[in-house]
Structure 1
Amino acid sequence: MKRIILFICRLLVGVLFIFSGLIKANDPLGFGYKLVEYFEVFHMLFLADYATAMAILLCALEMILGAALLLGIRPVQVAWGLLLLIIFFTFLTFYSAFFDVVKTCGCFGDAIPLTPWQSFTKDLVLLLLIVVIFVNRKSIRPAITNPKAERASLWIISILSAGFGLYTLNFLPVMDFLPYKTGLNIPDQMKVPAGAPLDVFEITYTLKHKKTGENKVMTDKEYLKTGIWKDDNWEIIGEPVNKLIKKGFEPKIRDLKITDVQGTDYTTEIIGNPYYNLVIVANSLEKADVRAIGDLNALAINAAENYNIRTVVLTSTSPTGADAFKKRHKLVMEIFNADDVPLKSMVRANPGLILLKNGTVINKWHYHRLPSYDELEKNYFSKTP
């Protein structure tokens, strides 16, 4: 029975650690953004520049520990590693939940969003399983008994784990779980369906009796039901408190707004263009790959001259900075402004290229894998009716 319990614990923890690491390594840039949120909470923003590298290492560590646990490789060291890691994660998720500072923990990336309390519960269960493994760490028998084969296996697991994160960082996620993925229609992701449940709020009033000085706290429903509002002796003091009771339907995309220098809204015009149009996403022009920007500029010139394709740049860089960048690099594209958050979700690259038609994401590319003009013409532009 003891062996069976230990085997089940190893299986559950090992598989879950591999799955968790793999999902986050699929989008290390996104996990890096989540780490920056934690750095802000703990006033450690000096680590922000290293967030992506730390994300790749953490994901790799999860996968390595999970695989090593399943194979029984170095069980004592692995048990210690698992215990320390889960204690750290449990502390983070509890802190996030109790103080309501980070809304989603990023445990499974954007594939399975969990609330902080759900994440904390998950970590408590894992902690219990890992404690069982830790107590019985010396009873774990390795599946590979040859020392050289064991070392070779560990090296292969480590290289594959880190390599996967590096690959997705440089060539976009293998699986895109964001609302801007290829094949989705952006305007549809921004709509609230007819009849969808709305947010439910409760208003709380603080009332004071003019003669006795007695105070009462009442909800808006109680205020109307009791008819106290008809009594001139009671007056509302202070500002009413508006509290969200039940969350209504929330569209997948709710924060995308594209504006020009004057603040004119161009969102519908750009994402609703019925023809092919190229959208270059560079959340920060100052940090964008300059060579890729030059290649995209040449691509935009050819597309405009031969097929009248419109190309726009979306950035969160200030209008003054964007204009200076445009002049410095002699860009022909129109530059529009949007918030940093949706831009980072549109494409995990700086810059990245999106091919849109009638609001639908036809395809998108990382700047390390930009298509040539000939490829775009052959596969898309020349096929336009």
Structure 2
Amino acid sequence: MRKIATNFSRIFVGVLFIFSGLIKANDPLGFGYKLQEYFDVFHMSFLGGMATGIAILLCVLEIVLGALLLFGFWSKKVTGGLLAIIVFFTFLTFVSAAFKVVTSCGCFGDAIPLTPWQSFSKDLVLLVLIIYLFINRASIKPVTNNSKVQQGLFALVTLASLGFGIFTYSTLPVLDFLPYKVGANLPQLMKIPEGAKGDEYAIMYKMSNKKTGEKKVMSDKDYLKTEIWKDENWEIVGNPDKVLVKKGYEPKIKDLVINDASGTDYTKELIENPFYNLIIVAYNLDETNENAVAKLNALALNAAQQYNIRTVLLTSSSAQRADAFSKNMKLFAEVFYADAVPLKSMVRSSPGVLLLKNGVVVNKWHYHTVPSFDKLSEEYFSK
């Protein structure tokens, strides 16, 4: 019975750690954004610049420990490492859930979004299983006792997982779980379907009885239903609170608003353009690759001259910073502004490029992989 329980725990924990590591390594920049949230919460913002590098290393650690557990190699060190990691993450998810400081832990990236309490529950289960494995680590048998084979497999898994993380960071996620993925119809994803209910809120009144000093809190519905307002002894104290009672339908894209420097809304005009248009995304102009922007600027000029294709640059930087950047780079593309959150979701690259037509994401590229103007013409513009 102990052998069955140990093998089950070993396989379950090993597979889950590998899966979790691979999902996050598929999008290390996104995982890095999540780590920056935690760094800010724990007043460790000085680590923000290293967030993506730390993200890749954490992914490698998860994958390697999961694989070594499945292989049964070095059971004492591996179970000890897993225990240290799960204790740390259980503490982290508890803090996130209890104090509502981070709304999603990022455990499985954007593929399987979990609430903080779901993440904490998952970590508790893993904690129990890993403690059991640590106690019974002597019964974990390796698939081979050949030390050279063990070291070779360890090196292979480490290099493969590290290479995968670097590859996806340098290109784009192999699997895109974000709403701006290729083929997505952005206007449709921004709409609330007809008949769908929005969020339901209750107005909560703080009541006080002038005669008895009794205090109570009641909703606006109960306030009217009980007709407490007819009793002169009861009075409303302070300002009422608006409380979410029931979550309604939420569009997949709910926070994209594109403005020009004067604040005019251009979202509909840019997103629903019936012709090909190029969107260059550089959410922070201070951190974007200027050489890549220069190449994209030349591409935009050719596209406009030969095919009358509109190119815009979206950023969350200030208008003053964008104006200085535009003049310095001699930008041909028009500059518009949006919040950093949707821009980070559009494309995991700075700069990154989206090719839109009639609101649909036809394709998207990391600045390392943007095709030449001739290839874009052949595949898209000239058709």
Shared fold by TM > 0.5? yes
Cα-to-partner distance string for 1:325-355 (whole Å, 9 max, x where unaligned): 1111111110001111110000000000100
- Inter-partner Cα distance in structure 2 for 1:63 and 1:214: 58
Counterpart of 1:36, as a letter, is: Q
Q: Which residue of structure 2 aligns with residue 368 of structure 1?
A: 368
Aligned 1:200-279 pairs, distance under 5 A: 200-211=200-211, 213-279=213-279
Higher mean Cα deviation, 226-235 or 107-116?
226-235
Q: Does 1:86 align with 2:86?
A: yes
**In the TM superposition, what are the counterparts of 1:228-377 in structure 2 within 5 Å?**
228-377=228-377
Question: Equivalents in 2 of 1:193, 1:239: separation in Å?
Answer: 34
Q: Deviations over 1:281-338 (max 9, x none)?
A: 0011121111111110110011000110000000011111111111111111100011
**2:183 counterpart letter in structure 1:** G
Alignment of 1:172-187 (within 5 A): 172-187=172-187
Q: CA RMSD in A?
A: 1.1
Identity across the alignment (%): 62
**Per-residue deviation at 1:207?**
2.6
Map of 1:63 onto structure 2: 63
| SS in structure 2 of the partner of residue 287 of structure 1 | coil
Separation in 1 of the partners of 2:211 and 2:69? 72
Which digits, 9 at most, give the CA deviation of each residue in 1:130-157, with x for residues without a partner?
A: 1111011122111122111110110000
| Cα separation, 1, equivalents of 2:248 and 2:285 | 36
Q: 1:17 — aligned with what?
A: 17
| Deviation, structure 1 residue 229 | 1.8
Question: What CA deviation, in whole Å up to 9, does each residue of 1:54-104 have, x standing for no partner?
Answer: 000000000000000001111111011000000011000011111111110
Paired residue type of 1:49: G
Partner amino acid, structure 2, of 1:94: F
SS of the equivalent of 1:285 reads: coil
CA distance in structure 1 between the aligned counterparts of 2:89 and 2:333, rounded to whole angstroms: 45
CA displacement at 1:213 relative to structure 2:
4.7
Judging changes above 3 Å, is the alpha-carbon distance between structure 1 residues 372 and 218 closer, same or farther for their aligned structure 2 residues? same
Q: Tell me the equivalent position of 1:198.
A: 198
* Aligned counterpart, 1:7: 7
In structure 2, the CA distance between the partners of 1:262 and 1:134, relative to structure 1 (3 Å rule), is: same
AA aligned opposite 1:326: S
- d(CA) in 1 for partners of 2:311 and 2:181? 19
CA distances 1:10-57 after superposition (whole Å, capped 9, x unpaired): 000000000000000000000000001111111110110110000000
For the residues of structure 2 that align with 1:234 and 1:320, how far apart are their CA atoms?
54
Amino acid at match of 2:74: R
Partners of 1:208 and 1:96 lie apart in 2 by 34
The SS at the match of 1:254 is coil
TM-score, normalised via structure 1 length: 0.97
Q: Are 1:118 and 2:142 an aligned pair?
A: no
1:319 partner amino acid:
A
2:167 corresponding residue in structure 1:
167
TM-superposed deviation, 1:233: 4.1
Distance in 1 (alpha carbons) for counterparts of 2:182 and 2:132: 44
Equivalent residue letter for 2:12: L
Structure 1 residues 216 and 97, CA gap change in structure 2 (3 angstroms) = closer
Could you tell which deviates more after superposition, 3-12 or 214-223? 214-223
Query: SS of the counterpart of 2:382?
Result: helix
Q: Residue 4 and residue 328 in structure 1: after superposition, are their counterparts in 2 closer, same or farther (change >3 A)?
A: same
Q: Using the alignment, how far apart are the partners of 1:381 and 1:306 within structure 2?
A: 9
Runs of 5+ unmatched residues, structure 1: none
- Secondary structure, aligned partner of 1:286: coil
Give the number of equivalent residue pairs.
383
Using the alignment, how far apart are the partners of 1:62 and 1:219 within structure 2?
47
